Amino acid sequence: MSSIIQLLPDHVANQIAAGEVVQRPASIVKELLENAVDAGATEVKLVVKDAGKTLVQVIDNGKGMSVTDSRLCFERHATSKIRHAEDLFSLHTKGFRGEALASIAAVAHVEMKTRQEQDELGTHIVIEGSKFVSQDVAVLPKGTSFSIKNLFFNIPARRNFLKSDTVEFRHIVDEFERVALAHANIGFMLYHNGSEMFNLPGSNQRQRIVNIFGGRTNEKLVPVSESTEIVNIQGFVCKPEFAKKNRGEQFFFVNDRFIKSGYLHHAVMAAYEGLLKDGSQPGYFLYLDVPPNTIDINIHPTKTEIKFDDEHALYAILRSSIKHSLGQFNVAPVLDFERDANLDTPYNYESKEAIMPMVQVDRSYNPFADEKPAKSSSGSSSSSSFSSSGRGGWTPSFKKEKAPVWESLYTGLSEAAEEITPVNEISFESEEVTGSLFNDTEVEQAVQKTYQIHKKYIVSPIKSGLLIIDQKRAHQRVLYEQFLTNITVHHAASQQLLFPLMLYYNMSELALIQEMRGALENTGFVFAEFNNDHIVVSGLPVNVAESEVSILLEELLNDLQQEVPDSSFSQTDSIAKSMARSLAIKTGVIMPEKEQENMVNSLFACKEPNVSPFNKPTFITISVEDLDKRFAI
């Protein structure tokens, strides 16, 4: 029998390996930016077209590569970062596997230009699908430039799985922010379709955070600093009052490498215990420096997860350092064992005893007794007199008018009572009732039809039995169809604000709001201004209160970032769902009878009253037969 196992050709193996490394354009951005950082660059420029589908170009001023290295870097498992297996536990660089460039070259058109500082000429290489097309000598600036064009040109199926430009660019911005936050001393620039999105000069950590997430971020930050033998912690956490529903501003960096760790996140949440509302997430930018031999970063293909040797000690140190910082800056209450000398008893009063105050009470005082006229010192009978002052002047003194005696208010009542006609002698005009405005059936129907149970359910009798409605889900269905109609038909009403609202967001959130601006305006929002770090809202939908605007938009951004809609219809649907969830009446709210009836009528006027926008049942029915069975013996 012939053998069936064969070695794969290099270009096929590279395409298979590319599935791990290159998942979307953002994966290329991550690899190339990290290579630029490893090359010692002080300025890195990222140029993107069509969300990376057409072009991803990274230009740096690093040390560059020689002619041999420029050709060898596209081979699999070719790297300058490690020599032995033991080097995996003493890594100080980003990339080390040597598969990134080989995988990228297997699924795209690659053009590389590089020159070292001591060389007069550089190298220009063109590769298409792992095949070297050309290699020339060229006059180039110091550093390296990678241009990745036509991603997945030879794998159409993979290209079809890419999302919309908006979604893909959002992933690119995420990777760009992670690398830029990890290396605040390096200048980064991002251009998309010819427009400058970010221009971040080299600075410190705090300034880099403010440059990325907006000027108002500075007032949110609380510094964290802790140095131990296990870990050195630097960075910032956000104040509890600025907590959000989403987890967008949460960053862990270990040895300048972005990681995701649910275990460390739990330590941060434990430090905020008792300071956050339910469902709120604090923002944090934490930089952990640990010995390289105490971590293993080779447990995940994307290197975003790390295994620590002593996780329990790291957990305790991180939680206590954040708790200490929140208390130190008066964000959280702490126990203060330092005695304040200003609260001590003065020396002159230490030996003195306290003097009890004496209270004198006139037990013969009667407020209802007649007041005796005060004796006038001047003997004058006029209403005002003048008494001599100590300085030879005259001071006017006025007599107090005598208060009326309270018994005099009731004099003469007995005589007036005798003149009042007795009640039994009063005659009233009779009025004959000829008929009822409503018949008996209508009177029975006027009795309350709906009842609210436990401030959660609306109960209404029907012919076949009983109808029980979940008020929250029912209201969600009603609002969802209203918003969906308003967005598509463009006829929503708006209420103008006397004082417009100014709301601050970071650049990615502003881009998302700008993208869904048309749909929001169709629901009733009016945006007066769009700036680099804030928006101005001058009009609101009729059923949205002014105090709910920031919460509504925050939850809307959170929903859109999590669901990542890739078409206009799904985005419209997501906006309607998110607004319906935010504005629907909550469990625990008392509804008057009229509102209950209106809720029932509005629900059954919907196109799909049976389920909420999130496919949860809005009501159930209990038949009379079911009730009879319950009472059967």
- pLDDT at position 283 over 50: yes
The two structure tokens encoding residue 113: 């230009």
Lowest-confidence pick of 120-129, 167-176, 421-430, 496-505? 421-430
pLDDT of residue 383: 43
Distance CA 104, CA 133 (A): 15
**Does residue 112 have a pLDDT over 90?**
yes
What pLDDT is stored for residue 409 in this prediction?
A: 63
Q: Which tokens is 413 given?
A: 């009542």
Q: Kindly indicate the confidence band of residue 316, based on its pLDDT and cuts at 50, 70 and 90.
A: very high
Neighbouring C-beta atoms of residue 85, cutoff 10 Å? 7
End-to-end CA distance of the chain: 77
Q: What is the pLDDT of residue 356?
A: 82
Please tell me the predicted confidence (pLDDT) of residue 269: 92
pLDDT band at 291 (very low <50, low <70, confident <90, very high): confident
Of 126, 119, 79, the closest CA to residue 98 belongs to 79
CA distance 90 to 60: 26
Question: Residues 378-412: pLDDT tens digits?
Answer: 444 444 444 444 444 444 444 445 555 666 666 66
Cα–Cα nearest to 622, from 508, 479, 474, 463: 463
Q: Which two tokens stand for residue 159?
A: 């290209």
* Average pLDDT, integer, range 34-44: 91
For the chain, percent of residues with pLDDT exceeding 70: 76
Angle at 142 between CA 190 and CA 98, to 5 degrees: 75
**Is the model's pLDDT at 524 over the cut of 60?**
yes
Residue with the larger pLDDT of the pair 230 and 378: 230
Per-residue exposure over 555-594, b if at least 16 CB sit within 10 Å of its own CB, e if not: bbbbbbbeebbeeeeebbbbbbbbbbbbbbbeeeeebeee
Residue of higher predicted confidence among 73 and 61 = 61
**Integer CA distances (angstroms), 105 to 96, 148, 150, 155, 311, in order:** 17, 8, 11, 13, 38
For the chain, give every domain's residue range: 10-200, 205-328, 452-620
Q: What pLDDT, in 10s, does the model give residues 182-224?
A: 999 999 999 999 888 889 999 999 999 999 988 788 888 999 9
For every residue of 522-551, which 3-state class applies, written as one string? HHCCEEEEECCCEEEEEEEECCCCHHHHHH
3-state secondary structure of 53: coil
**Residue at token pair 């799904």:** 570
- Say how far apart CA 572 and CA 487 lie, in whole Å: 7
Residue that wins the pLDDT comparison between 377 and 115: 115
Three-class SS state of 486: helix
pLDDT band at 335 (very low <50, low <70, confident <90, very high): low
Tokens 């708790």, residue located: 323
pLDDT at 52 over 80: yes
Q: How far apart are CA 56 and CA 108, in angstroms?
A: 10
pLDDT for position 124: 94
Half-sphere exposure of 545 (CA within 13 A, CB side): 6
pLDDT > 90 fraction of the chain, expressed in percent and rounded: 26
CA-to-CA dists, residue 626 to 104, 452, 461, 463, angstroms: 66, 21, 14, 14
Other Cβ atoms within 10 Å of 474 Cβ, number: 24
CATH architecture of 10-200: 2-Layer Sandwich (3.30)
Tell which wins on pLDDT, 552 or 376. Answer: 552
Distance, in Å, from the CA atom of 626 to the CA atom of 346, rounded to the nearest integer, reads 81
| pLDDT value of position 398 | 47
Give the per-residue pLDDT at 386: 44
Rounded Cα distance between 462 and 465, Å, is: 5
Residue 567 has pLDDT above 60, yes or no: no
- Give the per-residue pLDDT at 185: 93
- Comparing 353 with 89, which gets the higher pLDDT? 353
**Arithmetic mean of pLDDT over the chain:** 80
The helix (run of H) or strand (run of E) holding residue 386 is strand 384-388
Q: What is the mean pLDDT of residues 491-518?
A: 84
Helix or strand or coil: residue 194?
coil
Does the pTM surpass 0.75? The reply is no
112 versus 409: the higher-pLDDT residue is 112
**pLDDT score, position 89:** 58
Q: What is the mean pLDDT of residues 158-174?
A: 86
Per-residue pLDDT reduced to its tens digit, 419-444: 566 656 666 565 555 544 444 444 34
Residue bearing the bigger pLDDT, 374 or 123 = 123
Residue type present at position 322: I
Residue 101's pLDDT is 85
- Is 279's pLDDT higher than 90? no
CATH architecture for segment(s) 205-328: 2-Layer Sandwich (3.30)
- Tokens for 197, please give them: 């999105």
Q: Which of 622, 612, 619 is nearest to 580 (CA)?
A: 612
Query: pLDDT at residue 123 above 80?
Result: yes
Tell me the chain's radius of gyration from C-alpha atoms.
39
Instruction: Say which residue the tokens 């131990």 belong to.
Output: 228
Superfamily of domain 452-620: MutL, C-terminal domain, regulatory subdomain (3.30.1370.100)
Cβ atoms of residues 229 and 243 within 8 Å: no
